[in-house]
Amino acid sequence: MTVKKRIILMVAGAGFITSLLFSIVAFCELIEQPFVLLDKELKEEAYRTVEMITMGHPESALPPYNSVGYESYPYWLKIFDKDSKKLLYESNLARLIKLPSEKPGSKSIVSVIVKPELVYLGQHNNAEVTFRIRSLWLPYAGREFTVQIARSMLKLKDEIWELIFGLVAGLIFSSMILIVISYFVAGKILKPIAAMRDLTHNISEKNLDQRIPVGIEKDEFNELAATINRMLDRLEYSFEKQKNLLFDTSHEIKTPLSTMRLAIDEICSANRENPALFQEENLLRLKNQVLRMERLVKDLLNLSSLEMIDGIRPESVNLTDLLLSLAADYCFMADAQNIQMDIQLPDKYIINGDADKLNRAFSNILDNAIKYNINGGKVGVESIQTSDGIRITVSNTGPGVAGNETDKVFEQFYRVEKSRSVRHGGSGLGLAIAKRIIVLHKGTIIMESKQEKLTRVIVFLPNA
């Protein structure tokens, strides 16, 4: 079932139930009104009749019953003296029809069989007639009377059935109106959804820049449109990132492959005085390019595996020991470039994390700090403990990065200077891998740099 049909059913159903409850309440109120009016009529007629009898005009009070019917005087009436219980008067209907006596002050409804040939009161084939009976004590002119008065309810029944028919007809008509209204209301409600559906249906990888218009009203549809737009932003970013990755990877692989092809061509066409030495040089070039491709593929696999996971398996890690061990490993590389390393770390600092991944992240950061440094420069590793974590700063005295490019260094294959990265054998993925690892640890990593001044990579890791 479509959402539109569900809305129509819910709106029409709610309206039908409301109309039904209203009809029931109205019926209960209206059904009492005829009885109230009839009881009032019977009481007034009883007073009038007692008054006429007391004044000595019974013939005026009780017109004679005629052969046409009971319309001239439709009341069943008996009047008794309260003290003597003597019957003072009875109407023609009272003589022809026997009704049970009721206690004074009571009201009742009684059904009896009255043959039409005896008296026709509008009864149907079953000859059953229903009467409304009232029994009253009426004082008048110093005397007290007991009056029993009744009247046929056949017309009242017809009125009740007409009332029921009217309410049912109104209920059916209102339900039909509700269905029509709910149809248009559902269409109006779902119109923004249809517009979103049509627009998103036409969005593909070729036009991911399209967005759903968001209105100024803060309703659910605009929130949904904004959510879809944010999803499209992420999709566009992912597709763009994938395209850039494919392009950059192809470009990175193309260079060593071209170098290898040239080296092989030179080996195949070698015709020199010392071919063995010439082949050795080309084989060394081939080896370097193969190693470069191996590092590139390895870094790509590492980055891909990190992108596929959403978290880590935390364990207790002594961050101080991890950083000191890395610094000791890189001392040989630093000494080769006459670079001084300054390490300032706490005696012991424990965090929850993945030791292997953290080792890889800080290894990449230290590797860059030493590789992209000046001869005789400095590399610093220091930490500052805060109330919510620890901040590790790795600095160097390299050529620096322009301020508008410090955020880009964590992107895949980004290089400040391509020649510098090629010279040091970098793949352009080291800091991207480091950032992904830090993010998996719920931390942050930023770079602060000014050219020809200290460059700092600042890592923040939250407490265990």
CATH of the domain at 111: 3.30.450
Residues 455, 320 within the same domain = yes
407 and 274 share one domain: no
Specify whether 163 is located in the same domain as 16: yes
- Is 185 inside a domain boundary? no
Task: Look at residue 176 and tell me if it is in a domain.
Answer: no
Average pLDDT across each block of 10 residues of the chain; the chain has 464 residues. List them in order. 79 84 81 81 87 66 40 80 84 86 86 82 78 88 87 78 83 86 83 81 76 80 85 81 69 69 69 60 72 72 72 87 91 88 88 90 91 89 90 89 80 65 62 90 89 86 82
pLDDT given for residue 220 in this prediction = 81
pLDDT value of position 161: 80
Range of the domain at 59: 3-168
Is position 296 within any domain?
Answer: yes
CA distances from 384 to 103, 342, 344, 396 (A): 101, 15, 10, 18
Regarding whether 391 and 440 lie in a shared domain, the answer is yes
From residue 228, give the alpha-carbon distance in Å to each of 162, 196, 224, 237: 57, 9, 6, 14
Give the domain-ending residue among 308, 331, 362. Answer: 308
The per-residue pLDDT for 426 is: 59
pLDDT (0 to 100) of residue 121: 76
Same domain, 127 and 21: yes
73, 149 Cβ separation under 8 angstroms: no
Number of domains forming the structure of the chain? 3
The answer to whether residues 107 and 140 belong to one domain is: yes
Say yes or no: 261 and 164 in one domain: no
DSSP structure class, residue 403: G
pLDDT at 38: 84
Contact between residue 457 and residue 410 where contact means Cβ atoms under 8 Å apart: no
pLDDT score, position 97:
87
CATH of the domain at 387: 3.30.565.10
Q: Is 132 helix (H, G, I), strand (E, B) or coil?
A: strand
Measured between alpha carbons, how far is 339 from 381 in angstroms, rounded to an integer? Answer: 13
In this structure, the number of other CB atoms found within 10 A of the CB of residue 104 comes to 15
Given this model, what pLDDT does residue 358 score? Answer: 92
Side-chain-side CA neighbours of 403 within 13 Å: the count stands at: 2
Residue 177, domain member (yes or no): no
If asked whether residues 301 and 333 sit together in one domain, one would say no
In a domain, 189, yes or no: no
For residue 187, tell me if it sits in a domain: no
The sign of the torsion formed by the CA atoms of 81, 87, 89, 92 equals: positive
Q: Does one domain contain both 329 and 375?
A: yes
> Does 409 lie in the same domain as 457?
yes
Per-position b or e across 271-280, b if 16+ CB within 10 A of its CB: eeeeeeeeee
Q: What is the pLDDT of residue 179?
A: 86
